[in-house]
Amino acid sequence: MITLHHCVSARSFRPLWMLEELGLAYELRMQPFPPRVKAREYLEVNPLGTVPALFDGAVRMTESAAICQYLAARHSPGNLDVGVNEPDFGAYLNFLHFGEATLTFPQTLVLRYSHFEPPERRQPQVVEDYARWFLARLRTLEPRLAAQPYLCAQRFTAADVSVGYALLLAQHLGLSGSFTPAVQAYWQALQRRDAYARALRAQHAAAEAQGVPTLPAPDTR
Ligand SMILES: N[C@@H](CCC(=O)N[C@@H](CS)C(=O)NCC(=O)O)C(=O)O
């Protein structure tokens, strides 16, 4: 059985969404955010203290985009995965990693300096600059999504989960009102997926059942 360590709305939502898309059995272990402060024992699971951490037999993984790639390749070849011989293999890998490496990075600065730092350490200029930087990085998606419903291979893939999570985080940060039209339409369509809705419900049900707060406490350095 696959075990996923997750904090509500954190990057570990990517693998959770994938597990629901794939219909796999899994155990969801909720952690308060940030685990390295609020659940010190989690450092034995992942010494970095970050989520996700996914265990599948002897496999242990802690990078959200890599986990999406792993689950797609192992459990859904030719569907949520894009094969090496398909023309969009390169585009698939590019968008899968673009979601985390290029989009989520500026968002974490917005999150930190608008929500997680104590009031005296908040940095409105950093928040404004990195919010603008994040939105500018969506520019590369607009023409593509104006021409096709998904990022690559003419079907929903793990790359859409990776980028879709960045759009979800943008919504939490109050930035989704600035999405350009095709990105906005894509984001609305992603939210209509049954597996996306199931993943949202699963994290809230598990948090409640395990007594984990659904909102991160402020000042969690
Ligand atoms: N590149 C990693 C980043 C993992 C990461 O930083 N996760 C955040 C949650 S969104 C975390 O656990 N932060 C808590 C901390 O840094 O202590 C991934 O994509 O999984």
Q: How many angstroms separate the CA atoms of 83 and 61, rounded?
A: 21
Which atom of ligand 1 has the smallest separation from the CA of 36? Answer: 17
Q: Which two tokens stand for residue 10?
A: 């954190």
| 14, 42, 51, 63, best to mutate for ligand 1 pocket (most atoms within 8 Å of CB) | 51
Q: How far is the CA of 61 from the centre of ligand 1 (A)?
A: 12
Per the CB < 8 A criterion, the answer to whether 206 and 32 are in contact is no
Nearest CA to 71 among 5, 192, 159? 159
Tell me, what's the pLDDT at 207? 97
Tell me, what's the pLDDT at 213? 86
Tell me, what's the pLDDT at 215? 64
User: Does 34 sit in the ligand 1 pocket, CB within 6 Å?
Assistant: yes
For residue 29, give the 3-state DSSP assignment: strand
- φ, ψ at 199 (rounded to 5°): -65, -40
Q: Are strands 26-30 and 59-61 parallel, antiparallel or unpaired?
A: unpaired
Tell me, what's the pLDDT at 77? 86
Tell me, what's the pLDDT at 119? 93
Which atom of ligand 1 has the smallest separation from the CA of 101? Answer: 1
User: Does 50 sit in the ligand 1 pocket, CB within 6 Å?
Assistant: yes
Q: How many angstroms separate the CA atoms of 12 and 199, rounded?
A: 11
* Residue matched to tokens 């928040």: 127
Q: How far is the CA of 23 from the centre of ligand 1 (A)?
A: 25
Tell me, what's the pLDDT at 221? 36
User: Does 63 sit in the ligand 1 pocket, CB within 6 Å?
Assistant: yes
Which atom of ligand 1 has the smallest separation from the CA of 65? Answer: 19
Furthest-apart CA atoms within the chain: distance in Å: 53
Which atom of ligand 1 has the smallest separation from the CA of 11? Answer: 10
Map out the domains of the chain with their CATH numbers: 2-80+196-209 (3.40.30.10), 89-193 (1.20.1050.10)
Tell me, what's the pLDDT at 220? 39
Tell me, what's the pLDDT at 214? 80
Please give the chain's pLDDT, 221 residues, in tens: 999 999 999 999 999 999 999 999 999 999 999 999 999 999 999 999 999 999 999 999 999 999 999 999 999 988 999 999 999 999 999 999 999 999 999 999 999 999 999 999 999 999 999 999 999 999 999 999 999 999 999 999 999 999 999 999 999 999 999 999 999 999 999 999 999 999 999 999 999 999 998 865 544 33
